[in-house]
Amino acid sequence: MKVLAILYNGYEAAQAEPRLLGTVENELGLRSYLESQGHEYIVTSSKEGPDSDFQKHIVDTDILITTPFHPGYLTREVMDKAKNLKLCVTAGVGSDHIDLNAAVERKIQVLEVTGSNVVSVAEQVMMSILLLVRNFVPAHEMIENGGWQVSEIARNAFDLEGKVVGTLGAGRIGYRVLQRLVPFNCKELLYFDYNALPAEAEAAVGARRVQDLKEFVSQCDVITVNAPLHEGTLGLINKDLLQHFKKGAWLVDTARGAICVAEDVAEALASGQLRGYAGDVWNVQPAPKNHPWRHMKNPLGGGNGMTPHYSGTTLDAQIRYAEGTKTILQNYFEGKPQEPGNVIVGLGKYETKAYGQR
């Protein structure tokens, strides 16, 4: 079979650090396994435009491996050209770069390495919440720039203790965030999700479910977004919804950039409606140099905690998703059943409840 992997270039870092498995150079560690089984393995970072390797090879690829960090966008139109495609494997979590409805129609299976980086992201969420609430980034920039004016930083720095924190999406990551928030003695932990948590899980973290989205956002000092991107979440956090946020709330999105409308978030930050915004996911990746989220600031010159998309690609996570990708491939080639939680789209149907209510 022909296996095509779209990965990001790691350049010198990948040569020096073999645990950067999710790079073009280190090929998810799959080459010797795939070739020993007689498969052809093509690895490239070239994914944009009609002359890209992605477009060239997809026409006769049997298995496509992609990562959310450098997404090869498998649209309906691209799928139309992919006559041999049977299986898409996301090395990581989050398969929104694939048109899942089109995959259902064409009986192309979509699997991901569920759980492989959920702790990595939950830790990033905690870091992002803290760096916004405590006004860390401007404080650090002041130091690097040779300054020392504590009042300039402290005027916009708060404690997380006593705040209301809510997660939009309380699945594997959202729940881990709630667990990690418990010792911070927040005033209340809330969640919004059409799938309710089991009562014991709710009780274990002391979280309360709010079923109306506007009501949910209006009660939170901090909101963390932990839902997949699908028809029901695309552009969900927009100008209208932002008006229902508490004035001066902090928003963290490490799920998918397109859940938020980029310009509306930048405006809300500039006006002070949001006090801070942090995340690592963007509506286009790599983000263009002039993307508003690179330079947006609150009226006091801070409140931007953006990074490139890396929360789920720590070295620890890369080992887990590279191993998980190999297991999925082995199961596929050997006709063994897949881990049910890894199957997003099975043969002609969604197997997950996380990509919208159907």
Which residues have a catalytic role annotated? 117, 256, 285, 309
Of 157 and 319, which has the nearer Cβ to ligand NAI? 319
Residue of minimal Cβ distance to ligand NAI: 171
22 part of the interface to ligand NAI, by CB under 6 A? no
Contacts of 49 (CB under 8 A, 6+ apart): 55
Using alpha carbons, select from 354, 347, 305, 329 the residue that is nearest to residue 134.
Answer: 305
| 277 beta partners | 251, 304
Which range of residues in 37-45, 57-65, 141-149, 250-258 is near ligand NAI by CB under 6 A?
A: 250-258
- Nearest approach in angstroms of CB 227 to ligand NAI is 4
Beta strands 222-225 and 249-253, pairing class: parallel
The answer to whether 40 touches 2, Cβ cutoff 8 Å, is yes
Question: Residue 94 has what DSSP assignment?
Answer: -
Among 32, 195, 211, 330, binds ligand NAI (CB under 6 A): 195
Which whole-number Å values give the CA distances from 358 to 175, 342, 349, in the listed order? 23, 19, 11
Which range of residues in 58-66, 157-165, 169-177, 241-249 is near ligand NAI by CB under 6 A?
A: 169-177
- Assign residue 333 a region (left: φ > 0; alpha: ψ between -120 and 50; beta: otherwise): alpha
| 66 beta partners | 6, 90
Cβ of 353: how many Cβ atoms within 10 Å? 11
Helix (H), strand (E) at residue 34: helix 31-36
- Nearest approach in angstroms of CB 211 to ligand NAI is 10
Number of residues interacting with ligand NAI: please give it, by CB under 6 A.
Answer: 33
Which whole-number Å values give the CA distances from 268 to 92, 247, 332, in the listed order? 31, 10, 47
Of 90 and 298, which has the nearer Cβ to ligand NAI? 90
Using alpha carbons, select from 356, 79, 135, 71 the residue that is nearest to residue 233.
Answer: 356
Using alpha carbons, select from 13, 48, 44, 2 the residue that is nearest to residue 27.
Answer: 44
118 part of the interface to ligand NAI, by CB under 6 A? yes
Question: Residue 33 has what DSSP assignment?
Answer: H
Which range of residues in 58-66, 142-150, 166-174, 238-246 is near ligand NAI by CB under 6 A?
A: 166-174
The answer to whether 88 touches 74, Cβ cutoff 8 Å, is yes
- Nearest approach in angstroms of CB 122 to ligand NAI is 9
Site for ligand NAI in 200-239 (CB under 6 A): 226-229, 232-233
Among 21, 165, 189, 281, binds ligand NAI (CB under 6 A): 281
45 part of the interface to ligand NAI, by CB under 6 A? no
Among 193, 202, 221, 264, binds ligand NAI (CB under 6 A): 193
Cβ of 150: how many Cβ atoms within 10 Å? 10
Of 92 and 138, which has the nearer Cβ to ligand NAI? 92
- Nearest approach in angstroms of CB 305 to ligand NAI is 13
- Nearest approach in angstroms of CB 137 to ligand NAI is 18
Among 280, 303, 325, 345, binds ligand NAI (CB under 6 A): 280
Which residues lie near ligand NAI (CB under 6 A)? Answer: 92-94, 117-118, 121, 168-174, 192-195, 226-229, 232-233, 254-256, 280-281, 309, 311-312, 354, 356
